[in-house]
Amino acid sequence: MTTSQERIIPTDLSNEMSRSYLEYAMSVIVGRALPDARDGLKPVHRRILYAMYELGLTPDRPFRKCARVVGEVLGKYHPHGDTAVYDALVRMAQDFSMRNPLINGHGNFGSIDNDPPAAMRYTECRLQALATDSLLRDIEAETVDFADNFDGSQQEPIVLPARIPQLLINGSSGIAVGMATNIPPHNLGEVIEGAIALIHNPEITDLDLMQYIKGPDFPTGGQIIGRAGIKEAYTTGRGSITMRGVADIETLQQRGRADKEAIIITQLPYQTNKASLIEKIADLVNDKRIDGISDIRDESDRTGMRVVIELKRDAYPRVVLNNLYKQTAVQANFGANMLALVNNDPQLLTIRRFLEVFLEFRVEAITRRTQYQLRKAEERDHLLQGLLIALENIDAIIGLIRGAADTATAKNELVESYGLSNTQADAILQMQLRRLTALEAEKIQAEHEDLQTQISDLNDILARKERIEEIIESELTTIKNVHATPRRTEIVQGEGELLDKDLIANEQSVILITEQGYIKRMPVSTFEAQSRATRGKAAAKMKENDGVEHFMTCCDHDTVMFFSDRGVVYSFYAYQIPATSRTARGIPLIQMLPISQAEKVTSLIAVSEFTEDEYLVMLTRKGNIKKTALSAFANIRSNGLIAISLQEEDELRWVRLATEEDSVIIGTRKGKAIHFKTNRQQLRPLGRSTKGVKSMKLRGDDELISMDIIPSQIVATIAETEEEEVEEDNNEELVAEETDLGPWLLAITSNGYGKRVPISKFRLQNRAGMGVRAIKFKTDDDCLVGIDIVNPEDELMIVTNRGIMIRQAVKAISLQSRNATGVRVQRLDKDDAIAAVAPVPPLEEDELEAEVGEGEEV
């Protein structure tokens, strides 16, 4: 007998620890924490799905208790805790955890508030159709290898024969030893389109694949801010993707009390706990780290999520929302770490490499399936050939069998006499007598011919890779047609990101703001030019007691500057305003600008470039005017910039672009106009925080209604001499100089009348004068609503209080004297009135050429 001392094996402690820890680490990496890049599953998920498949829990079969499934997995394949298995099963059934759930759960499977699922003895489950169609189909066709389970009593697949890039579609996360993975879920349809694109073009790059796979598509929806993180993750395997919940600013109607502004959260970033988020917001309000919130409540129900954050009356909704983004999980980062097992080796994969590994595996699976089908077809055909030989010699074979002493003797004689194999001889001996009929013989012959065709086709598939790729594409397309759903997560432009601008056409647009603060953008092409005095088209669906307040035309690449009555300016690109149809209401302006209900936008201006030689001319309600360099507004902060210092009870109303040599013309409601230069003698440049100087003297209750700039080349032609104001008849006497080529001053009244007047009829004056008459009115209730400087080729957009919009050529409006009453430019409905007028911006030359077809005239 050996002594205990002899059984002791001396070993180096450091080497033993290193070896043992390495074995443990590899076991965790390969056997627990990291998914396989081929089927996208970790071992526990693969074992759950396979155990359910063996139990027959297909989508067309009844539900079974989850405890039964967990017991099957534990007893056969996964010797770990039942909690780990049940947690993995539950996650595969949660529609807020998996973009495309693989298990159909029946019962309480938890919630987005992190409520735990019911115990496994209460819940039931079965496979989803996607799991059987895309992961488990063909598993019995020798498409994948099987290995012994933990005790050698069972065989389990080492990978499932996935027909889709499951790892990208549902994502995965896990922490191993010294490494971790965090792969976001994607849209099934987009991923399949990317895989098909790689089949068609094996040289396609990661960036090219982003044309098909736009970015992650999270089950909870939300938004992804910017594409930089997506690009980094797809091209390097690692990247930080900014996720943001969907939050709208709405006005809550309250009975007996004034309306209140509220932030409504309807979608949250992926893996965000709603209950914890609400608790966090409440703590921040109590700690006074977020101001402006008066109440918060969860109104979510089975129809969807709705978290209502009521705001105080003096709060700035956009500022509060930005604070929520900054300090809470309403905005979070997804740290993408695209690590997966490739041949049991942990590798960091790019988006192209993910699809390459999948397609390589799919080629192997289809090859093995085809070989299996070929073998089965050849074996069956071999039997049929033996049966056909027997049918041809049926009488002799029957005699042979009857004369044989036993089965073995009959079998040997069949083999020796007719050259049959043992398998064929057994099949003949087992053949039933009913198969000797003529009909059965025909069936055997037909099946033999079908098998010959099938064998030829299967050999062709094995011989040509392009046939295999066609099969892969066909299977992918079928799954896409059945299981693809629209994208849930919206990808929006990040701050400072120029990608969107480069991809968006610089088209002409109409921007419209209503009195109740809704903003919308529409293509100018929505409104074809109409004849003078027609009604026009509806440009917006108005709420009751709402009307058009501001109206502007621009190009989509322009920077739109919003000036408020408080003298503050905000800005963003025109294309960032959501484009809508004619009849849409638009979105609340407070969703885009950090302004409160008490602050109103009073002027819009579109700027294509912030040049040094241009100025902003600003005019207030009380008549103060000032000129400030446009370059001073090149960098407007997200919370705005002071544009003008205002006196008490004064408001900023009009802002226009001008140069040093231009002149300005200002109109009043009672039809007066004053014209003076914008040079240093009349209007010297001032800084942003100045008040300005007096622009015009007003009589009685008259008030300013509009301002426009006259270009310098036109100013040079106007004589600076005093001119007598001539009274004319009440008849609208036309100006004699019909050869006047413009530009002209266009005057439009609230009752729908308008005219063009030569600029030369408005003499240059000194600032702060009384002005001259610009128009006469047909009725006492009429008034001037707008003056604009227009050119012969211009077109106008005119909009009424009720949102009826008309587009017409300037030349369609008559040329008349200053004292004429004008002609009808738009037919108005009862109780409607003209609200605003704006010229259509000219197309750039390259866009104009693209718009005009061959043989057409511009």
Nearest Cα residue to 136 out of 46, 204, 68, 224: 46
CA atoms within 13 A on the CB side of 791: 10
Structure token digits, residue 426: 């057994």
Q: To 10 degrees, the CA torsion angle through 384, 388, 391, 397?
A: -80
Nearest Cα residue to 163 out of 351, 341, 362: 362
Contact 604, 562 (CB under 8 A): yes
What are the E-state strand segments in 589-696? 601-607, 615-620, 624-629, 641-642, 652-658, 663-668, 672-677, 693-694
Nearest Cα residue to 330 out of 242, 266, 263, 269: 269
What are the E-state strand segments in 678-783? 693-694, 704-710, 744-749, 753-758, 772-773
Structure token digits, residue 38: 């081929």
Residue with tokens 């957009």: 797
Structure token digits, residue 831: 């109780």
Nearest Cα residue to 336 out of 266, 268, 272, 270: 270
| Alpha helix ranges (H) inside 213-348 | 228-236, 274-286, 317-327
Sequence length of the chain is 858
Contact 195, 476 (CB under 8 A): yes
The yes-or-no answer on residue 24 being catalytic is no
Cα 816 vs. chain centroid, distance in angstroms? 51
What are the E-state strand segments in 290-423? 293-298, 307-311, 331-337, 339-342, 345-348
The Cα 739–Cα 262 span in angstroms is: 58
What are the E-state strand segments in 556-662? 559-564, 568-573, 587-588, 601-607, 615-620, 624-629, 641-642, 652-658
The Cα 217–Cα 215 span in angstroms is: 6
The Cα 152–Cα 561 span in angstroms is: 73
The Cα 214–Cα 238 span in angstroms is: 16
* Peptide bond before residue 758 is cis, with ω within 30 degrees of 0: no
The Cα 486–Cα 631 span in angstroms is: 44
Catalytic residue among 21, 77, 122, 372: 122
Query: What is the 3-state secondary structure of 2-45?
Result: CCHHHHCCCCCHHHHHHHHHHHHHHHHHHHHHCCECCCCCCHHH
Question: Rounded to the nearest 5°, which phi and psi values hold at 834?
Answer: -65, 130
The Cα 71–Cα 82 span in angstroms is: 8
The Cα-based distances of 794 to 93, 218, 332, 529, 813 in angstroms read 61, 48, 48, 11, 11
Task: Give catalytic residue positions.
Answer: 122
